[in-house]
Each structure stands twice: as structure tokens, then as C-alpha cells.
Structure 1
Amino acid sequence: METRQQGLLDPEPVTEVDEEMVSDVDLNNTMTDEEREEILSELTKLEEEISTLRQVLASKEKHHSELKAKLGITPLSEFKQNFNKSWYDMQTSTAYKKTSETLSTAGQKTSAAFTTLGTAISRKFGDMRNSPSFKSFEEKVECTVSNIKTKVGSQGGGGSFEEVLSSAAHASAQETPSNNMPESSDHERTC
């Protein structure tokens, strides 16, 4: 036996081992005329059966659609029914249940986090509102608003709104002891 492989264009002859392999392969595919006719006959019968089955299937499908029409089953109602069944199957699946539980847990944790955050913010606003600087600011705003209301009401339309606003701002900016404050009416607070 040779250890080297021969290519198709090599000039060396084929060895005996190769000749035995070629003789095992039937290249002529010899078949008798009787066998050929028998196979052709079987093929024709199969084609006729397939054609008959197609006709029977078409007839059954027509009868099927007629029965559905009598029952009032439309393609849309079938679609709805199939969709509802698929939706039910999906909801009862293990994956859907696990996902739903996970999302529910995540939603609860998120809700708790927002509640905690809201409580912390409310507490901070409460602390800020109770701080001395906020109290001072709140008193100044209340005093200014009270002065504006009093002056607008007491002037009886004698001055414009801008004049009243400017005098109220000037008065609240002065913040001097009550001895230097002009007299105020009963409604006006001293700031």
C-alpha cells in the first residue's frame, strides 16, 4: 500500500486497492423493465391518492366553514377566543407567575422607598419652617401683606397700587423700634 495520496492529475496509475473499491460501486444502476414499470405504477397510484385526499380535504374545509357560519363563529370571534386562551395560558405559566411576583415585590419596595423619602422631605420642611430664619421671613411677609391691605383700604383709592406697594416695602425695610413707626390704624400690625 502507498502512504502518499494521489491527486487527479498525477500520472501514476491507480493501485489494486482502489480498483477493488470501484468494482463494489454499481455505476450503471441496472434495473429491469418490470421493476421500472412497477415503480412507475406505484408512483401513479400515490399521485392519484394525493389528489383524492386534496379533494376530500377541500370538501371537509368547506363543510367546516359552513358549520361555523351557521353557529355565527366569525374569524374575529375565533381570533378573540384564541387570544383569550393564549392570554390565560400565559398568565397561568410559571414564568409569568414568577415575573409577576418579582414585579410586585419591586413595586412594594419602590413604594416604601418613596414613602420614606416623602416622610424625610416633609420632616425637613417642618424643621425648616420652625427655624428662626424662616419664622423671621414669614413675619416680614405677613407684615408687608398686612401693611399693603391696610394702606389700600385706608387710602380709598387715593394712590396707585404701585405707590402703596413701594411705601409698604419702604416701611418694612426700615424695621425700627415701635417709637419711630408712624401711627397705624387698628388693622395694621406693627412690624
Structure 2
Amino acid sequence: MEQRQQGLLEKEPLQEVDEDMVSEVDLNNTITQEEKEEMHNELTKLEEEITTLKQVLASKEKRHSELKQRLGITPLSELRQNLSRGWNDMQTSTAYKKTSETLSTAGQKTSAAFSNLGTAISRRFGDMRNSPSFKSFEEKVESTVSNIKSKVGSSGSGGSFEEVLSSAAQASAQDTPTNTLTDNSEHTC
């Protein structure tokens, strides 16, 4: 026996003596023979009751199915009814009402914010258009366009389109108060 106490993980197979010791241990030693018989009887009764309940349930399910069929209730109509009931329940819930109110308020505030933003942008563009620098820029563009029109429209010029653009650019450069442009026409290709 002293060899057997080496450790929990022994490599030796069980001996015949060990098997006899295991069979002598009765795990149910706390239950008497009478209690075992009572338990077996109760178990038998429960199994019979379960069988009877299963038969009753099957009979009721069959009757349920027959009644639904006679009433014309289909699985699809049941699904529709359940979805409708669920949707109605959800709409009447407090959480749905609060969420709906919150989203409505947020939508109104967002709409007002976009409206105010649009008004502010319009006002800014109006202010910008009335500014002296924009008016000066607008006048320069108008003068350049009229110069181009007059050059292209005149029949006696005989110049090419590039010449007209070049002369319009020179005219525009002469109209600017601070002429920082130098004549780079010799350096361009």
C-alpha cells in the first residue's frame, strides 16, 4: 500500500483489491429500501401523469388548430395581428412618447437653426456685395468684359483671340491703382 501513496497521478492500473474497495462503497447508503420503493412508485406515477398530460395537450392543440381553420385564421393573419398589437403597444409606451417628443423638438430646433443660418449667409452676401472692395472688383470685371466685347466685336481689328485677351489683360492691369505687374511678355513661351 505504501507504493500507492506516491501521488494522485499513478501510472499503475487498478488492482483487483482496489476494484473490490470501490464496489463496497455504497453512494446511496443514506436511503432505506422502503424509501427507494416509495421513490420508484412516485416516479412511475409522475411518468404516467406526464404521458396523460401530453395526450391531453395534443388533443387540445388539435382542437385549437381545427377551430382556427374553421374561423379562417391563418398564420399570416396571426402574424399581422401580432405585429399590429405590438406596434400599438409600442406607440402607447411612455418611452416611445418621450422619444417622439424629443425628436420633434430636435427637428424644430434644427429647422430653426438652418433658417437662421440661411438668413445670416444671405445677409453676409448682401453686406459683401455692398462693400467697396467688391464693387471695385465688380467694376473691373465689367470693364474687362466690355473691353473684350469691343475688341472681339470690332470688324476692323483683325486680331486673333489671343491678342484680344492680351489687350484686355493689359487694359485691366492699367486700371488697377497699384500696378505691380512687369512686362513679362518676352519671358513667356
Please give the TM-score of this superposition, normalised by the length of structure 1. 0.62
Q: What's 2:173 paired with?
A: 173
Aligned pair in 2 of structure 1 residues 124, 58: CA closer, same or farther (>3 Å)? same
Amino acid paired to 1:110: T
Residues in 2 aligned to 1:72 and 1:157: alpha-carbon distance in whole angstroms: 92
Give the CA deviation at 1:159: 4.1
Give the CA deviation at 1:107: 2.1
Aligned pair in 2 of structure 1 residues 69, 158: CA closer, same or farther (>3 Å)? farther
Give the CA deviation at 1:145: 1.8
Q: What's 2:18 paired with?
A: none
Amino acid paired to 1:139: E
Gapped regions of structure 2 (runs ≥ 5):
1-28, 177-189
Q: What's 1:133 paired with?
A: 133
Flag the structure with more relative contact order, 1 or 2, with Cα contacts below 8 A and sequence separation at least 6: 1
Residues in 2 aligned to 1:145 and 1:112: alpha-carbon distance in whole angstroms: 41
Residues in 2 aligned to 1:153 and 1:114: alpha-carbon distance in whole angstroms: 47
Amino acid paired to 2:165: L
Secondary structure of 2:74's partner?
Answer: coil
Residues in 1 aligned to 2:144 and 2:68: alpha-carbon distance in whole angstroms: 82
Q: Which string of whole-angstrom CA distances, capped at 9 and with x for unpartnered residues, describes residues 78-104 of structure 1?
A: 334322322221111111111211222
Q: What's 1:73 paired with?
A: 74
Residues in 1 aligned to 2:36 and 2:166: alpha-carbon distance in whole angstroms: 118
Aligned pair in 2 of structure 1 residues 144, 66: CA closer, same or farther (>3 Å)? farther
Residues in 2 aligned to 1:158 and 1:57: alpha-carbon distance in whole angstroms: 106
Q: What's 1:112 paired with?
A: 112
Give the CA deviation at 1:175: 2.3
**Root-mean-square deviation (CA), in Å?**
3.0
Q: Which string of whole-angstrom CA distances, capped at 9 and with x for unpartnered residues, describes residues 37-72 of structure 1?
A: 455334323212211222332343344445545626
Aligned length: 147
Give identity over the alignment, percent. 77
Please give the TM-score of this superposition, normalised by the length of structure 2. 0.62
Matches within 5 A, 1:1-191: 28-30=30-32, 32=34, 37=37, 39-65=39-65, 67-68=67-68, 71=72, 73-74=74-75, 76-155=76-155, 158-175=158-175
Residues in 1 aligned to 2:56 and 2:82: alpha-carbon distance in whole angstroms: 27
Aligned pair in 2 of structure 1 residues 63, 153: CA closer, same or farther (>3 Å)? farther
Residues in 2 aligned to 1:143 and 1:100: alpha-carbon distance in whole angstroms: 58
Residues in 1 aligned to 2:37 and 2:125: alpha-carbon distance in whole angstroms: 100
